[in-house]
Amino acid sequence: MLSGPSGVGKGTVVAEVRRRYPDVWVSVSVTTRGRRAGEVDGVHYHFLTDAEFDRLVAEDGLLEWAEYAGNRYGTPVAPVRERLATGAPALLEIELQGARQVRARAPEAQLVFLAPPSWAELENRLAGRGSEPPAVQQRRLAIAQAELDAAGEFDVVVVNDDVTRAADELVGLLTAPSSGRSVGASE
Protein backbone atom coordinates (compact mmCIF):
# COMPACT_ATOMS: atom_id res chain seq x y z
CA MET A 1 0.00 0.00 0.00
CA LEU A 2 1.16 3.48 -0.72
CA SER A 3 0.15 6.17 1.74
CA GLY A 4 1.31 9.66 2.62
CA PRO A 5 0.04 13.19 3.19
CA SER A 6 -2.31 14.87 0.75
CA GLY A 7 -0.33 16.84 -1.81
CA VAL A 8 2.82 14.72 -1.58
CA GLY A 9 2.05 13.34 -5.02
CA LYS A 10 0.77 9.80 -4.42
CA GLY A 11 -1.62 10.14 -7.31
CA THR A 12 1.13 11.43 -9.61
CA VAL A 13 3.54 8.67 -8.64
CA VAL A 14 0.86 6.01 -9.14
CA ALA A 15 -0.08 7.56 -12.51
CA GLU A 16 3.60 7.32 -13.50
CA VAL A 17 3.65 3.66 -12.40
CA ARG A 18 0.53 2.96 -14.51
CA ARG A 19 2.02 4.73 -17.53
CA ARG A 20 5.44 3.08 -17.46
CA TYR A 21 4.57 -0.25 -15.89
CA PRO A 22 1.21 -1.29 -17.36
CA ASP A 23 1.63 -4.76 -15.85
CA VAL A 24 1.40 -3.38 -12.32
CA TRP A 25 -2.17 -3.82 -11.10
CA VAL A 26 -3.56 -0.80 -9.28
CA SER A 27 -6.75 -1.01 -7.23
CA VAL A 28 -9.52 1.41 -8.32
CA SER A 29 -11.12 2.88 -5.20
CA VAL A 30 -14.72 3.87 -4.67
CA THR A 31 -15.46 7.39 -3.47
CA THR A 32 -18.35 9.70 -2.69
CA ARG A 33 -16.25 12.72 -3.77
CA GLY A 34 -17.34 14.54 -6.88
CA ARG A 35 -15.46 13.89 -10.08
CA ARG A 36 -12.66 16.39 -10.87
CA ALA A 37 -11.99 17.59 -14.40
CA GLY A 38 -10.09 14.92 -16.28
CA GLU A 39 -11.12 12.07 -13.98
CA VAL A 40 -12.79 9.08 -15.59
CA ASP A 41 -15.34 6.94 -13.74
CA GLY A 42 -13.99 3.41 -13.42
CA VAL A 43 -10.41 4.48 -14.15
CA HIS A 44 -9.39 6.95 -11.45
CA TYR A 45 -12.23 6.05 -9.09
CA HIS A 46 -15.66 4.49 -9.13
CA PHE A 47 -17.75 7.53 -8.22
CA LEU A 48 -20.63 6.50 -5.95
CA THR A 49 -23.58 8.13 -4.24
CA ASP A 50 -23.73 8.00 -0.43
CA ALA A 51 -26.40 5.31 -0.65
CA GLU A 52 -24.28 3.16 -2.97
CA PHE A 53 -21.30 3.53 -0.64
CA ASP A 54 -23.50 2.60 2.37
CA ARG A 55 -24.59 -0.54 0.56
CA LEU A 56 -20.99 -1.62 -0.13
CA VAL A 57 -20.07 -1.11 3.53
CA ALA A 58 -23.14 -3.09 4.66
CA GLU A 59 -22.26 -5.95 2.28
CA ASP A 60 -18.70 -6.02 3.66
CA GLY A 61 -17.53 -5.28 0.14
CA LEU A 62 -14.62 -3.05 1.16
CA LEU A 63 -11.19 -4.13 2.34
CA GLU A 64 -10.95 -0.79 4.13
CA TRP A 65 -12.66 2.56 3.99
CA ALA A 66 -12.22 5.97 5.55
CA GLU A 67 -13.71 9.41 5.63
CA TYR A 68 -11.27 11.99 4.36
CA ALA A 69 -11.93 15.75 4.19
CA GLY A 70 -15.69 15.24 4.10
CA ASN A 71 -15.87 12.40 1.59
CA ARG A 72 -15.64 8.63 1.89
CA TYR A 73 -13.10 6.45 0.09
CA GLY A 74 -12.74 2.68 0.05
CA THR A 75 -11.00 -0.28 -1.58
CA PRO A 76 -13.33 -2.89 -3.15
CA VAL A 77 -12.16 -6.19 -1.68
CA ALA A 78 -13.11 -8.63 -4.47
CA PRO A 79 -10.73 -7.36 -7.20
CA VAL A 80 -7.81 -7.26 -4.72
CA ARG A 81 -8.53 -10.84 -3.59
CA GLU A 82 -8.77 -12.03 -7.22
CA ARG A 83 -5.49 -10.38 -8.09
CA LEU A 84 -3.61 -11.73 -5.07
CA ALA A 85 -5.03 -15.22 -5.75
CA THR A 86 -3.07 -15.27 -9.01
CA GLY A 87 0.11 -14.69 -7.02
CA ALA A 88 0.61 -11.22 -8.46
CA PRO A 89 0.99 -8.07 -6.35
CA ALA A 90 -1.63 -5.37 -5.94
CA LEU A 91 -0.96 -1.68 -5.45
CA LEU A 92 -3.32 0.34 -3.26
CA GLU A 93 -3.09 4.10 -2.94
CA ILE A 94 -4.89 5.05 0.25
CA GLU A 95 -4.76 7.47 3.16
CA LEU A 96 -3.53 6.71 6.66
CA GLN A 97 -6.70 5.40 8.36
CA GLY A 98 -7.17 2.95 5.52
CA ALA A 99 -3.51 1.89 5.66
CA ARG A 100 -3.98 1.05 9.34
CA GLN A 101 -7.05 -1.07 8.56
CA VAL A 102 -5.15 -2.98 5.87
CA ARG A 103 -2.29 -3.55 8.29
CA ALA A 104 -4.74 -5.04 10.81
CA ARG A 105 -6.51 -7.26 8.25
CA ALA A 106 -3.49 -8.24 6.13
CA PRO A 107 -0.32 -8.05 8.26
CA GLU A 108 1.76 -9.34 5.33
CA ALA A 109 0.95 -6.25 3.23
CA GLN A 110 3.89 -3.96 2.71
CA LEU A 111 3.15 -0.38 3.71
CA VAL A 112 5.02 2.32 1.84
CA PHE A 113 4.97 5.92 2.98
CA LEU A 114 5.49 8.58 0.33
CA ALA A 115 7.15 11.56 1.96
CA PRO A 116 7.64 15.07 0.57
CA PRO A 117 11.23 16.34 0.20
CA SER A 118 10.28 19.03 2.79
CA TRP A 119 7.25 20.53 4.56
CA ALA A 120 7.60 23.78 2.56
CA GLU A 121 7.44 21.78 -0.64
CA LEU A 122 4.26 20.05 0.55
CA GLU A 123 2.61 23.40 1.36
CA ASN A 124 3.52 24.68 -2.09
CA ARG A 125 2.09 21.65 -3.78
CA LEU A 126 -1.18 21.78 -1.82
CA ALA A 127 -1.64 25.48 -2.59
CA GLY A 128 -0.54 25.10 -6.19
CA ARG A 129 -2.93 22.32 -7.04
CA GLY A 130 -5.71 24.89 -7.39
CA SER A 131 -8.38 22.23 -7.58
CA GLU A 132 -9.82 23.02 -4.16
CA PRO A 133 -10.98 26.18 -2.37
CA PRO A 134 -8.62 27.55 0.35
CA ALA A 135 -10.72 26.13 3.21
CA VAL A 136 -10.39 22.63 1.77
CA GLN A 137 -6.65 23.15 1.24
CA GLN A 138 -6.29 24.19 4.91
CA ARG A 139 -8.15 21.09 5.98
CA ARG A 140 -5.93 18.87 3.84
CA LEU A 141 -2.81 20.59 5.19
CA ALA A 142 -3.88 19.89 8.79
CA ILE A 143 -4.49 16.23 7.90
CA ALA A 144 -1.13 16.12 6.10
CA GLN A 145 0.66 17.24 9.27
CA ALA A 146 -0.88 14.40 11.26
CA GLU A 147 -0.12 11.97 8.45
CA LEU A 148 3.55 12.99 8.32
CA ASP A 149 3.82 12.15 12.01
CA ALA A 150 2.76 8.57 11.19
CA ALA A 151 5.66 7.83 8.83
CA GLY A 152 7.26 5.63 11.49
CA GLU A 153 4.37 3.14 11.29
CA PHE A 154 5.32 2.20 7.75
CA ASP A 155 7.67 -0.49 6.47
CA VAL A 156 9.41 1.75 3.95
CA VAL A 157 9.61 5.49 3.31
CA VAL A 158 10.00 6.66 -0.29
CA VAL A 159 10.85 10.34 -0.75
CA ASN A 160 9.07 11.96 -3.66
CA ASP A 161 11.98 14.13 -4.75
CA ASP A 162 11.44 13.08 -8.35
CA VAL A 163 8.32 11.38 -9.71
CA THR A 164 10.14 9.03 -12.09
CA ARG A 165 12.63 7.96 -9.45
CA ALA A 166 9.95 7.47 -6.78
CA ALA A 167 7.83 5.40 -9.22
CA ASP A 168 10.85 3.20 -10.02
CA GLU A 169 11.57 2.69 -6.34
CA LEU A 170 7.93 1.76 -5.66
CA VAL A 171 7.83 -0.77 -8.50
CA GLY A 172 11.15 -2.17 -7.28
CA LEU A 173 9.54 -2.77 -3.88
CA LEU A 174 6.49 -4.41 -5.48
CA THR A 175 8.54 -6.81 -7.53
CA ALA A 176 11.32 -7.52 -5.02
CA PRO A 177 11.36 -11.22 -4.09
CA SER A 178 11.33 -10.37 -0.39
CA SER A 179 8.35 -8.02 -0.62
CA GLY A 180 4.91 -8.74 0.75
CA ARG A 181 2.27 -9.58 -1.80
CA SER A 182 0.75 -6.18 -1.89
CA VAL A 183 2.23 -2.77 -1.63
CA GLY A 184 0.12 0.08 -0.41
CA ALA A 185 1.11 3.61 -1.07
CA SER A 186 -0.36 6.33 1.01
CA GLU A 187 0.27 10.04 0.85
Examine residue 109 and tell whether it contacts ligand 5GP (CB under 6 A). no
**Nearer CB in complex with ligand 5GP: 182/186:** 186
β-partners of residue 183 are 110
Using the rule CB under 6 A, is 75 a contact of ligand 5GP?
yes
The one among 9, 93, 170, 179 contacting ligand 5GP by CB under 6 A: 93
d(CA 128, CA 84): 37
* Rounded distance between C-alpha atoms, residue 6 and residue 147, angstroms: 9
* By the rule CB under 6 A, 74 interacts with ligand 5GP: yes
User: Does 95 interact with ligand 5GP (rule: CB under 6 A)?
Assistant: yes
In angstroms, what is the minimal distance from the CB of 65 to ligand 5GP? 6
Alpha carbons within 13 angstroms on the beta-carbon side of residue 182 total: 32
Query: SS3 for 6?
Result: coil
Which one of the spans 67-75, 81-89, 116-124, 164-172 is the region binding ligand 5GP (CB under 6 A)? 67-75
154 scored as a contact of ligand 5GP (CB under 6 A):
no
List Cβ neighbours of 146 (8 Å cut-off, separation of 6 or more).
96
Please give the DSSP secondary-structure letter assigned to residue 56: H
Alpha carbons 22 and 64: distance in angstroms, whole number: 25
Of the candidates 135, 158, 152, 179, the one whose C-alpha atom is nearest the C-alpha of residue 12 is: 158
Report the C-alpha gap between 145 and 149 in whole angstroms: 7
Q: Does 169 bind ligand 5GP (CB under 6 A)?
A: no
Q: Which of residues 7-66 bind ligand 5GP (CB under 6 A)?
A: 10, 29, 33, 64, 66
Does 125 engage in binding with ligand 5GP (CB under 6 A)? no
**Footprint on this chain of ligand 5GP (rule: CB under 6 A):** 6, 10, 29, 33, 64, 66, 68, 73-75, 93-95, 97-98, 186-187
